[in-house]
Amino acid sequence: MANYPECPVDLLKAEENQVRITAFLVVILISLFLVTRLWLIPGFLVIDFALRAFQYYRVSPLAQVSRALVTLLKIPAKPTDRGPKIFAARIGLAFSVAILASSVYGFTVLALSLGGVLLVFAFLESVLGFCAACFIYPYWKSVIQSFLQK
């Protein structure tokens, strides 16, 4: 295993500042969930992460809001590779599904713990531009390769 992050690359571009604003909106929503424990919040995030994870950005509510904010605030473009952002959205989808299921089935501590992890990941992306998915990807890739070799 390499000692440096390895990211999935698809050579198509995403708007870095829009992605970071979207991550900040996730921080706000997960924070609201942690305070209110309202299952509708992770339910909404499941839908939104699914739209972004499977590249339906144009209909993702959070992507639309962040796109509007980038335009309104006249934030300069900063293109970045889209691959890591899609992988991160898929991780966010998995976390959101787990948070929603835990919340609905009464596993409150698990739901809050998973929400805390998602909050940290989204915060790191939004404030520092640090993509935790790039550190998870090599492990994911080795698990998939091990599975395919059997």
Domain boundaries, the chain: 13-149
Section 43-67 average pLDDT: 96
> pTM for this one?
0.88
Is the CB of residue 88 less than 8 Å from the CB of residue 22? no
Q: Convert the pLDDT of each residue in 1-36 to its tens digit.
A: 344 466 667 778 889 999 999 999 999 999 999 999
**CA atoms of 5 and 87, how far apart (whole Å):** 13
Quote the CA–CA distance of 147 and 116 in Å, as a whole number. Answer: 30
Question: Are 77 and 15 in contact, with CB atoms under 8 Å apart?
Answer: yes
